[in-house]
Amino acid sequence: MSLFSRRSTPSPTADQMIPTRQAQRAGSATVTPDTALRNSAVWACLRLRANLVSTMPVDVYRRVGGIQVEVPKPPVLVNPGGENVGMLEWMYSTQFDLDRSGNAFGIITAKDGLGFPSRIELVPVAEVTVIVRKGKLAKYRIGSTEYDPSVIWHEKQYTMSGLHVGLSPVAFAAWSIGEYLSIQQFALDWFSNGAVPSAHLKNTAKTVSPEKAEETKRRFKAATANQDLFVTGQDWEYKMIQAEAAGPEWIEAKRYGIGDIARFFDAPGDLIDAAVSGSSVTYANMTQRNLQFLVMSLGPAIIRREDALSSLTSRPRFVKLNSDALLRMDPQARAAMFRTQIESRQLAPSEARELEDRPPFTDSQLAEFDRLFGKGTTPAPQPAIPGGTTP
């Protein structure tokens, strides 16, 4: 007998030759600030809020004799990140981080003569660790470097008592968003990967024995594994018993998931093009819709940002974000508003023209009004005050 004998082995069956496909069933998806951005509704909410807040003009004021007077802005409110990062980009990035993770961080790399920050270089939130010892903020770790809190700009929102960091809407909504992502993964598995094999292959002509059923199953798997054709007679029919129910349920769950996400991020669903049943926004009520969004949803975030930015200036100066851009009306409504304010003595004609980016009336223009409408029908130009202002 040879030491290297060869044993005869049975030939593998067709079922054994077909490679096993790993099951890819939808489960609980782990949601992080980064993975949540895969959801289009999350991205739309963050983009909407960051777009609006970042494009609001930033003005600095102080009160003189009870009157709000605009003053020059410090460099940190013009180019906060240096020459390469202007205020608009800086505000967009920080608002995006605030809404996504509840925090925005930056390293103060320069200060002015009064000790206020003049340059703040933003850092990714994911690289920041907040170190708290004995209930007090001790230091920040960015990457592998530790920083004293005095050189870190830390702005936060959605805070809770006793916490030194802000909270993220994604953290609160992780379960609901996770359900949505799981449904989305299920749909991809079902319609793309074929990972859900719930189907019914039925012989309509006769009863099939277990042995014949296994043989048909092997033939069907062998044909469909490589996207080949499966040939049968007229007595077999194939039906995906879950597809008809799975499609509508997935779409319905996706629609409700988007509505939940919009509420989590305080962004009305109709403003991110989400389907909202029983709601109709028309041109006639657009201004009222924007006002409601400004007051109820975006207003608190704007006030928090104004308070945080005011800490970059010396008191009694304070920062205001001009939200009028959000309430732009059509020309007819805007003209009616100016007329009402002028007639009720709340606004001077020169102030209305300034709001319309127009220069004050000239003497020739006033004379032309007198010729057309009669002398005394136009308001007389107000006397100038030293310093170039009007009363």
Per-residue model confidence (pLDDT) at position 306: 94
CB count within 10 Å of CB 223 equals: 15
- Residue type, position 375, single letter: K
Reading the block at residue 321, the tokens are 């974000």
pTM over 0.75: no
Supply φ then ψ for residue 154, to 5 degrees: -130, 110
Per-residue model confidence (pLDDT) at position 288: 75
Per-residue model confidence (pLDDT) at position 251: 52
Per-residue model confidence (pLDDT) at position 308: 94
pLDDT digits (tens, 9 = 90+) for 218-239: 877 777 666 566 666 656 665 5
Residue appearing with tokens 């020309």: 331
> Three-state SS across the chain?
CCCCCCCCCCCCCHHHHCCCCCCCCCCCCCCCCCHHHHCHHHHHHHHHHHHHHHCCCEEEEEEECCEEEEECCCHHHCCCCCCCCCHHHHHHHHHHHHHHHCEEEEEEEEECCCCCEEEEEEECHHHEEEEEECCEEEEEEECCEEECHHHEEEEECCCCCCCCCCCCHHHHCHHHHHHHHHHHHHHHHHHHHCCCCCCEEEECCCCCCHHHHHHHHHHHHHHHCCCCCCCCCCCEEEECCCHHHHHHHHHHHHHHHHHHHHHHCCCCHHHHCCCCCCCCCCHHHHHHHHHHHHHHHHHHHHHHHHHHHHCCCCCCCEEEECHHHHHCCCHHHHHHHHHHHHHCCCCCHHHHHHHCCCCCCCHHHHHHHHHHHCCCCCCCCCCCECCCECC
CA distance 269 to 99: 16
Residue among 126, 127, 152, 123 at smallest CA distance from 139? 152
User: Would you say how long the chain is, in residues?
Assistant: 391
Question: Cα 93 vs. chain centroid, distance in angstroms?
Answer: 11
Reading the block at residue 363, the tokens are 């003497």
Residues contacting 323, CB < 8 A, separation 6+: 56, 294, 298, 302
Per-residue model confidence (pLDDT) at position 210: 80
Low-confidence ranges of the chain (pLDDT < 50): 1-8, 14-26, 194-198, 240-244, 246, 383-391
Per-residue model confidence (pLDDT) at position 374: 78
Residue among 306, 304, 248, 252 at smallest CA distance from 275? 252
